[in-house]
Amino acid sequence: MRRKHTRKNLSLWMTPDINKVHVKEKSWKTPATFQKSLKITLIMGQIFSLLPVMGICSNDPLKIRFVYTSWKCFYSFFSILGQLYMTFMCIYKFSLFITSMNNAAPLIFYGTSCLSMVLFYDAARAWPSLVQHIASTEQIDPNYDTKLTYKCNITCIVVLTLALIEHILSLLSKFAAAAVCFPNASVYEGFSRYAYPSIFQVLPYSTTLGVLTQFLHFQSTFIWNFSDLFVICMSYYLTSRLQHINERLLEAQGKYLPESFWKTTREDYCRAIKLVRKVDDVISGIVFISFANNLIFICLQLFNTLEDGIKGTSECSGRSKRSNLLGGHESAVYFLFSLVFLIGRSVAVSLIAAQVNTATEMPAPVLYDVPSPAYCVEVQRFIDQINGENVALSGLKFFNVTRSLLLSVAGTIVTYELVMFQFNTSAPNTNTTVIHNNMTTVAP
């Protein structure tokens, strides 16, 4: 009886301490809200017509609205039409020339960019209800992760800066090649004809069309990078919500706590899991296109490396004239930077998005360590819930983003490269010799 009384007193003594810590946090820390954490990232997306919702700069969830007649929706709609135009021109060119992996690359690039814009537009329609659901969850259980906004903003700056550097290197590579391929044309005309053959091998050249095509290409390049950035920042937020609960559990590990503590914590965990599923319903299409796009172009880049080395080949390779921009090494510099950036970004997306799944499994060891006298029905329900469901971001429910997915993707890439390399070396040269326009360019 005396031992039981002591444990009861200990549990009553521990509970106020935990509550006191959270009250103390609330008194001087500002909650890390969803709108504040992703504000910069979403603003950058809207500059290029993605996620056309109103009130993105406001901290009030009720001001987030999707309006079909807003200028943002019109901007997004016309951008989708522009990407459809680029896609159809690639399809038309693809039907006229000899087919190959490299001729298909522009079609895949612009096609997935167009599809990404449609998926972001669809996500924008559900965005107001999603933000309001997140705000209600934050109001019940505020999160005081002071590093969340910082991580999202720094990641946004780093990813977009590297993407801009990659695009500049791409332009240098194309200008250098255009100077060799079109020595009699003006600088910009030669660049446009070399960089966008799907347009100017079909339509007559004009400066206006060249500028419009270059903007649509830059928009496609940004969308490709932003899709990965968006998945990363959403994963940051969801992981932070789950870690907020996990930290509370780690503080309580091995301690004698009342049933009310485990009930409250389990309910908070249930809300976080519901939030993950709600977010996944909205962005699962974006997750799918992000992973599919990265997989396709990593395979294409590595295939080009095995076939032609880092410099690649083009219809102008045999000419003696060389550019002085980077001593004739523009294509190689761009290729190496692009390949490293692409692989690094793909690995980062996989590992960071997988942290959501990892964070949902972290409470289990704490619950297994609950002392026998403190074990109760709520602890058992908590354990059953963790073991009974697999919670993670998904790609249209086709796959869950977990740490093991990265190994599966790596195995797929290796298998693809071996098969394609064997097929390419065994095929007759007349079937594999094609005109390559900037063959080593990931984003055509």
User: Residue 157 is encoded by which pair of tokens?
Assistant: 């700056």
What mean pLDDT comes out for the span 67-81? 93
Measured CA distances, 15 to 30, 161, 251, 313, 382 (Å): 24, 47, 11, 70, 19
Distance of CA 247 to the CA centre of its chain: 27
Alpha-carbon span 107 to 99, nearest angstrom: 11
Q: What one-letter code names the amino acid at 76?
A: S
Whether pLDDT at 313 is above 60: no
Alpha-carbon span 155 to 362, nearest angstrom: 25
Whether pLDDT at 59 is above 50: yes
Beta bridge pairs of residue 65: 54
pLDDT score for 5: 42
pLDDT band, very low/low/confident/very high, at 4 (cuts 50, 70, 90): very low
pLDDT digits (tens, 9 = 90+) for 212-227: 999 999 999 999 999 9
pLDDT score for 300: 83
pLDDT digits (tens, 9 = 90+) for 395-411: 998 999 998 888 888 88
Instruction: Give the global pTM.
Output: 0.86
Domain spans of the chain? 38-432
pLDDT score for 354: 93
pLDDT score for 408: 87
Beta bridge pairs of residue 43: none
pLDDT score for 166: 92
Residue 229: which residues within 8 A CB-CB, separation 6 or more? 41, 155, 156, 159, 160
